[in-house]
Amino acid sequence: MGADLLPQRSIVTVPAIWFYWIWGLILRVYRWFTGYVERCGPAENGFKRLFIREAIGVMGLKTPISLQHPTMRDVCAAVTDQTGVIFALPDEPYVDEKIPHFKSLGAGYLLLDSLGGAFGISDYCWYQLPDGTLYAGSYAHSRFASLPLDLPASFASSGAAGNTLRMPLIPSIRPGVVLNGHQDHPD
């Protein structure tokens, strides 16, 4: 995930008393957003406007780490200690290979972006999973790698300058997804 692509944010207008957010089909309901309300303000006609952020929004804060001979698992454990974010790492050899040194003094987003290069992970990506955990690893080892999507052009409600697209929220659209036969590479 490139530094210019931050986790999803939403502004939602809801009645002041009740707030339900459900996504599902027939008798199955799926959680597709885990996050927190960052701020709340008044909206028109007795509604409230909520600014909500994904749970990994905490990675926007400074997350300094300096470790000697760490594995990726060690780095992620250190991030968990500082932020409370739980990682879902693939069961692959690169997660437990040691490197001489890992250092990051900036925001957690930059730390996450640098993991792929530091540990030599091809097609590296990271993103929040629906349960609130954070996946970091090769896209080929992610839960969405075997789920290519085909969406009709009618799903796009608007676009601009050839590099933006507005469409409905679809949980399986993540960084690196194979969409209509093409893989997104945010780098």
Same domain, 104 and 120: yes
Give residue 33's domain range.
Answer: 9-55
Q: What is the mean pLDDT of residues 60-84?
A: 96
- Number of structural domains found in the chain: 3
* CATH number, domain with residue 62: 3.55.50.10
Is the pLDDT score of 82 beyond 70? yes
Residue 28: inside a domain: yes
Q: What is the DSSP string of the chain?
A: --TT-PPPEEEEEEESS-----EEETTEEE----EEEEEEEE-GGGEEEEEEEEGGGGGGSB--EEEES--HHHHHHHHHHHH-PPEE--SSGGGG---SEEEE-SBHHHHHHHHHHHTT-TTEEEEE-TTS-EEEEEGGGSTTTT--B---GGG--EEETTTEEE----TT--TT-EETTEE----
Same domain, 38 and 110: no
pLDDT, tens digit, for every residue of 14-24? 544 434 354 55
Which carries the bigger pLDDT value, residue 56 or residue 101? 101
Is the pLDDT score of 171 beyond 50? yes
- Residue 22 CB neighbour total at 10 angstroms: 8
pLDDT at position 134 = 93
Residue 4: inside a domain: no
